[in-house]
Structure 1
Amino acid sequence: MSLAELTALMSKVGRKHPDLMQDRNVALFIQACIDEAKTLPQEHAPTAPVDVIDI
C-alpha cells in the first residue's frame, strides 16, 4: 500500500467516523483503519498483514 493509498484510507475512515477524529482517540482510529483495509479489494490491499503495524 502506497503512502497515497494509506492517506486516502485514513481520510475515508475520518469521514466515516468523525467522532473518532473529534475525540482524538488514536487507538480506535487505527483499529478503524485496519478494519477498513481488510475490506479493500485484493489488488489494493496492503502486502503485509493488516493486523501487524510495524513502527
Structure 2
Amino acid sequence: MIFAPQAETMPREALRELPLQRLTTLVRHVKARVPLYRERLAGRAAACLRL
C-alpha cells in the first residue's frame, strides 16, 4: 500500500534533495518574517545551506 505515491515513487536523487529544499524554503520564510532570524542570517543566502 502506498500512502504518499509522489514521495514513495520519486527517483532517488530527487528524494535526496527534498530535505534540503524544504529547509531552504523554511529558512527563507523565517528570514522574511522573524526579526531575530533576519538579523542573525543577514548577508547569508538560504541556498548556501548544507545538511
Which TM-score tier does this pair reach, normalised by the shorter chain? 0.3 to 0.5
TM-score (norm 2): 0.35
TM-score (norm 1): 0.33
Which structure would you say has the larger Rg?
2
